Amino acid sequence: MTRAKEGTGYQAFDAPLLAQYQERRRIEQDLELALGKRQFELHYQPLVDVNQGRILGAEALLRWHHPRLGLMLPGRFIELAERSGQIETIGRWVLETALYQLHLWQRRWPALQMHVNVSVKQLLSGELYDICWAQLNRYRVKPGTLVLEITETTLLEDIQLVTKLCDQLGELGIVLAIDDFGTGYSSMRYLKQLPVNKLKIDRSFIADLESSPESQQLVPAIIAMGKALGLSITAEGVENEYQRQFLAALDCDEAQGFLFSKAVLPQTLETLLEAEIDLLPASRSSA
C-alpha cells in the first residue's frame, strides 16, 4: 500500500488493488470477444457408477483459451460473465455445443447422459426454456439424458419462480440436478417442493471423509435423505479408493472425480467409451 503525501488531496492509494481491478476489466473485455474468436472449449468429465466405474454420462466443463493468460478455468471468469450478463450468450453456446456432442455420442451410446451447468441468471432470464426446446428438437437426444445442474446456493434466490421454471424444463424431459449440495441451506421443504431429480454432494464433504467424523456422518445422512425424497445421488470430487469404497457401501448412484478421470477432450472420452473401460484403478490394471 502506498499512501500519497499529506496535503495532496489524495486518500489511500492501493496499487495492488488497482492492478487487480484493471486485470478484471481486461478479462471482462476479452470475454466479450472470446466466443467470436472461438476461444472456448468444452471438456467432459465422466460420471461413473460407484461399484464398477462404468461410464454413465459426462459433465461439460467450460475452458477458455486466453491468448495472454493461457488456459482459464471457470472459477476465474464465470462470476464476471454472470455480472456482465455475458453468461447468457456463453451459456447458450455451452448448451448447443454439449447437445450437439451428445447427439453424436448417442448414435453409439444411446443411454449416455450429458450434464450441463447453468447459471441461475440463465434460468431466470426466461430464455432457457426456449433455447432448450429449440436445441432438443434440433438434436433429438433421448428424453431424460440432458441433465441441467444448478448450484444449491443460487437455486434458492427466488424459490417460487425457480420452481415454476424448473417445472417447465421438466416438461421437456430435462433432468434437474442440484450442484454442490450441502454448501447452501436448502430446507427439507424446498427440496420437496423443487422438481429436481438429482443431488450432487459437494466435494468438500468427500474431500475430508477420511479425516472428519462429521463428514462420515453427514454423507450417509445426505444420501438417505436424498433417497427418501426419491432423488438420484452423485458424489463429486472422489479422489481415492477409500472414498469410493465408503460411497459404494452406501446407496450412492454415481461418482465423479480425479480417481476416475478429470475433464478431458471429446476424443479422449470417446476412446474411454469405445474401450468400454471401467474407470477403476483395479479394473484398469487387470485389463
Spell out the SS3 assignment of the chain.
Answer: CEECCCCCCCCEECHHHHHHHHHHHHHHHHHHHHCCCCCEEEEEEEEEECCCCCEEEEEEEEEEEECCCEEECHHHCHHHHHHHCCHHHHHHHHHHHHHHHHHHHHCCCCCCEEEEECCHHHHHCCCHHHHHHHHHHHHCCCCCCEEEEEEHHHHCCCHHHHHHHHHHHHHCCCEEEEEEECCCCCCHHHHHHCCCCEEEECHHHHHCCCCCHHHHHHHHHHHHHHHHCCCEEEECCCCCHHHHHHHHCCCCCEECCCCCCCCECHHHHHHHHHCCCCCCHHHHHHC
Grid cell listed for 91: 451459456
The answer to whether 149 contacts Mg ion (rule: CB under 5 A) is: yes
Instruction: Tell which one of 7, 70, 75, 230 touches ligand C2E (CB under 6 A).
Output: 75
Nearer Cβ to ligand C2E (55/263): 263
Residue recorded with cell 475452458? 63
The answer to whether 119 contacts ligand C2E (rule: CB under 6 A) is: yes
Nearer Cβ to ligand C2E (116/141): 116
The least CB distance from residue 138 to ligand C2E, in Å, is 19
Site for ligand C2E in 138-197 (CB under 6 A): 149, 151, 179-180
The least CB distance from residue 148 to ligand C2E, in Å, is 10
The least CB distance from residue 280 to Mg ion, in Å, is 22
The answer to whether 231 contacts ligand C2E (rule: CB under 6 A) is: no
Site for ligand C2E in 3-32 (CB under 6 A): none
The least CB distance from residue 83 to ligand C2E, in Å, is 12
The answer to whether 117 contacts Mg ion (rule: CB under 5 A) is: yes
Site for Mg ion in 154-193 (CB under 5 A): 179-180
CA distance 63 to 253: 27
Query: Hey, which residues does 150 pair with through a beta bridge?
Result: 178
Stretch of residues binding ligand C2E (CB under 6 A), selected from 1-9, 131-139, 237-245, 276-284? 237-245
Instruction: Tell which one of 62, 114, 222, 255 touches ligand C2E (CB under 6 A).
Output: 62
The answer to whether 242 contacts ligand C2E (rule: CB under 6 A) is: no
The answer to whether 56 contacts ligand C2E (rule: CB under 6 A) is: no
Residue 213 interacts with which of ligand C2E, Mg ion, none, CB < 5 to 8 Å by class = none
With vertex at residue 129, the alpha carbon angle to CA 92 and CA 108, rounded to the nearest 5 degrees, is 65
Binding site for ligand C2E (CB under 6 A): 45, 61-62, 73-75, 78, 91, 94, 117-119, 149, 151, 179-180, 203, 236-239, 256-258, 263
Binding site for Mg ion (CB under 5 A): 117, 149, 179-180, 236
